[in-house]
């Protein structure tokens, strides 16, 4: 039984943490928060320049220099190399944060198979593969996994079909793996953000005016009347990964300003 002092996010100190998608958005925000909390970081991302900038910001927070393991996780060899490098460098793995993902616009009429395959490959298949390879190491440390899902996995929205499907898969993946690893004391949870201010929507095709209108609409689509900030999601990730959440597993935690609870009237 953990002592009361252990129930704090500061229990991430010296925890070896692999964060994917760390070159931008929620992954980058998690990297900065975890660095401030004393974690030892391995950072993955496809944009090497941005990943290097994030690593320098982590060092500026007083963290040990992060290990950079850049690469596209849809490539199986990259996934294997990533895990091998983390274990070779640190000798163990305590926390896995699956944050890498893409957003793509499209309906059943407009989403072709190439787009569908790309979304599912990045958002689901790569998460499955990386987790599969990390699990033996997480069992040794009785570690934890936090997947970055979305309110789109819990609620249905038109025009982002493949993305919604991918995030529903991540929610189910989270619950199933949590049950499979519970007897080995490995916890598995996910965060399900609403609209968070990042570049992901612009990368998916929204121009500046469309994005501004999209954020303005959050005043009515989110109960708290605004979009969220990256750091707000990062704090939820840190909580679930830490010893403050030692009796929590299989949870898909909304971090969405109440959007999941809303219904049209």
- Using DSSP, how many helices (H) and how many strands (E) does the chain show? 9, 7
Arithmetic mean of pLDDT, 247-257: 98
Whether this model's pTM surpasses 0.75: yes
What pLDDT, in 10s, does the model give residues 233-251? 999 999 999 999 999 999 9
128 has catalytic annotation: no
Domain ranges of the chain: 4-194+230-259
pLDDT at site 61: 87
Q: Is 228 helix (H, G, I), strand (E, B) or coil?
A: strand
Does pLDDT of 202 surpass 90?
no
Q: Which CATH class is domain 4-194+230-259?
A: alpha beta
Q: C-alpha angle 61/63/64, rounded to 5°? A: 150
Choosing from 116, 128, 163, 211, the catalytic residue is 163
Q: Is 15 helix (H, G, I), strand (E, B) or coil?
A: coil
Q: How far apart are the C-alpha atoms of 202 and 164, rounded to whole Å?
A: 18
Residue of 214 and 91 predicted with greater confidence: 91
pLDDT at site 204: 81
What pLDDT, in 10s, does the model give residues 100-149? 999 999 999 999 999 999 999 999 999 999 999 999 999 999 999 999 99
8 Å CB contact between 197 and 228: yes
């Amino acid at each position: 039984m953990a002592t009361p002092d252990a129930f704090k996010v500061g229990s991430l100190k010296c925890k070896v943490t692999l964060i994917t998608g760390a070159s931008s958005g929620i992954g980058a925000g998690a990297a900065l928060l975890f660095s401030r909390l004393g974690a030892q970081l391995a950072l993955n991302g496809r944009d090497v320049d941005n990943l290097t900038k994030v690593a320098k910001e982590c060092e500026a927070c007083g963290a040990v220099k992060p290990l950079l393991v850049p690469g596209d996780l849809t490539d199986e060899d990259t996934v294997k190399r990533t895990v091998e490098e983390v274990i070779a460098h640190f000798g163990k793995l305590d926390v896995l944060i699956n944050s890498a993902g893409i957003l793509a616009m499209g309906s059943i009429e407009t989403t072709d198979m190439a787009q569908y395959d790309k979304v599912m490959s990045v958002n689901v298949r790569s998460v499955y593969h990386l987790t599969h390879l990390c699990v033996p190491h997480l069992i040794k440390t009785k570690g934890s996994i936090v997947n970055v899902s979305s309110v789109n996995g819990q609620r249905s929205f038109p025009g982002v079909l493949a993305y919604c499907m991918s995030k529903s898969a991540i929610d189910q993946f989270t619950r199933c793996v949590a049950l499979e690893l519970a007897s080995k004391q490995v916890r598995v949870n996910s965060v399900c953000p609403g609209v968070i201010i990042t570049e992901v929507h612009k990368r998916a095709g929204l121009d500046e005016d469309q994005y501004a209108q999209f954020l303005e609409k959050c005043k009515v689509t989110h109960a708290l009347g605004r979009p969220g900030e990256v750091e707000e999601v990062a704090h939820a990730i840190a909580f679930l990964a830490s010893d403050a959440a030692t009796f929590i597993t299989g949870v898909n935690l909304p971090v969405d300003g109440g959007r999941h609870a809303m219904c049209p009237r």
